[in-house]
Copies of this chain bind each other. A is one copy, B any other.
Amino acid sequence: MRQSQLFTKTRREAPKDEVSKNAQLLIRAGYIHKEMAGAYTFLPLGLRVLNNIMAVIRGEMNAIGGQEISMTALQEPEVWKVSGRWNDEVVDIWFKSELKAGGEVGFANTHEEPLTRLLTQHISSHKDLPRYVYQFQTKFRNELRAKSGIMRTREFIMKDLYSFSKTQEEFREFYEQCAEAYVRIFNRLGIGDKTFRTFASGGSFSKFSDEFQTVSDAGEDTIYIDERRHIAVNKEVYNDETLDSLGLDKTYLREAKSIEVGNIFPLGTKYSAPLGLTYKNEAGESVPVVMGSYGIGPARAMGTVVELLCDEKGMVWPESIAPFAVHLVELSGGNKEVSAEAGELYRTLTEAGIEVLWDDRDLRAGEKFSDSDLLGVPLRVVVSEKTLSEGAFECTERKGGKTQHLSISELQTRLTHV
């Protein structure tokens, strides 16, 4: 895309009402816009990153047998009253409203109840199980405080997968498969080395759940990390009993602040029993389905990537989720030959399926470079009178700053072999 056509602009100063680094950078770079406290619009560059993150997650969920659906935000009270979660004293983050046609309606903050009810129409026999159903869907949470930029908001897309299994054993097998998929996801997002599978409280229906916690001072959680085993324990269950049961030794644990980027959770029959999601086993007996839930917030993952991988100049996107692969910076200074060369390179790369942001704006080199660093596209390719005379483009990696002079064919090879 031509940057002269992009409707968003960068700004020098961070917005005064944002304290978190991710929101400051994303707003300065024109990736997001704050509509109100805890609600952000994704602008073209931000939406590209968010879509790339969702594509990574979608691929991994499909690979473990996930079937994608899209549920409604609107919720009728009845199904939530069965589980006891309609009550504001039980769940204190509901947004509720009145139907003009009469009656109350809620905006979903999660989807266990309606999905469990939905599946009663499609599951009846042991032959119908196991099943794994997921969605990317907008959750609404009436948080008292919205902070941490796009990492904790009142409205956000959640990837929530729910597993439906015949037995605890079948459930556990998938639970571990999904945990491995989560490891692959966070590796692909570029934050795997700092993300730890973390033992956490399981609530009242399970001893433990598993969180995926990424070490960052911007985090709201505290964890204790065993680096050698690459696992951690959440402070909320950090006690001798937990450590003993996990075979962890306090001596080797390191305390750190962290961001919860994912969680996987045994639900047992908490929802299937009251909502009547049962199946006939081979003996013909009616048995409640064993469930689990598995969440990742793509925007929180995006905010975490910004927090971890940015530097003093701006964002540094991993190639896997960058809004563009190449930032083509044209420094023509009115030289038409240089502009033509930039246009030719843009067409060549674009036709080869490479995503290019072409800075064709009439601005000083310093402004262009400063914008380029802020935007954080992985590879900057400069076209100027100098590169024209040299017959090679100046290619600089945003991460690390390494510069190479590459011919067009060398550049294409570099881009198609990452």
Contacts and interface: CB of A to CB of B under 8 A. Distances in A.
Contact of A72 (B40, B72, B73, B105): B40
Most buried by B among A9, A100, A101: A100
A301 to B, nearest CB: 16
A417 to B, nearest CB: 23
A10 to B, nearest CB: 10
B118 A74 contact: no
A123 to B, nearest CB: 7
Interface string A62-75: 00010111111111
A9 B133 CA distance: 14
Contacts of A50: 70
Interface in A99-127: 99-101, 105, 107, 114, 118-119, 121-123
Contact of A8 (B7, B70, B122, B142): B122
A143 B100 contact: yes
Interface in A68-97: 68-76, 92-93, 95-97
A36 interface: yes
Nearest to A71: B41
A121 B70 CA distance: 33
A270 interface: no
A21 interface: no
B47 A70 contact: yes
The 9 tightest CB contacts between A and B, nearest first, are: A39-B72, A36-B76, A39-B74, A7-B131, A95-B97, A42-B70, A41-B71, A35-B72, A100-B142
Interface of A: 5-9, 30, 33, 35-44, 47, 50, 65, 67-76, 92-93, 95-97, 99-101, 105, 107, 114, 118-119, 121-123, 128, 131, 133, 138, 140, 142-146, 154-155
B73 A44 contact: no
A88 to B, nearest CB: 10
Contacts of A140: 73-74
B69 A41 contact: yes
B73 A121 contact: no
Contacts of A133: 7
Given A36-B76, A97-B95, A97-B107, A122 B9 contact: yes
Contacts of A47: 68-70
Contacts of A101: 37, 143-146
20 contacts: A5-B65, A6-B67, A7-B67, A7-B119, A7-B133, A8-B122, A30-B122, A33-B118, A35-B76, A36-B72, A36-B76, A42-B70, A44-B68, A44-B69, A47-B69, A72-B155, A73-B138, A95-B97, A99-B154, A100-B144
A234 to B, nearest CB: 25
A111 to B, nearest CB: 9
Best-surrounded residue of A44, A73, A74, A97 (most CB of chain B within 10 A):
A74
Given A7-B67, A42-B69, A43-B69, A74 B36 contact: yes
B72 A41 contact: yes
B95 A105 contact: yes
Nearest to A128: B7
A65 B146 CA distance: 35
Given A76-B36, A97-B97, A41 B142 contact: no
B93 A96 contact: no
A164 to B, nearest CB: 8
Given A7-B131, A97-B96, A154 B70 contact: no
A155 to B, nearest CB: 5
Residue in A7, A68, A118, A121 whose Cβ sees the most chain B Cβ within 10 Å: A7
Given A65-B5, A100-B142, A143-B100, A118 B73 contact: no
Nearest to A143: B100
Given A44-B68, A67-B44, A142-B99, A154 B74 contact: yes
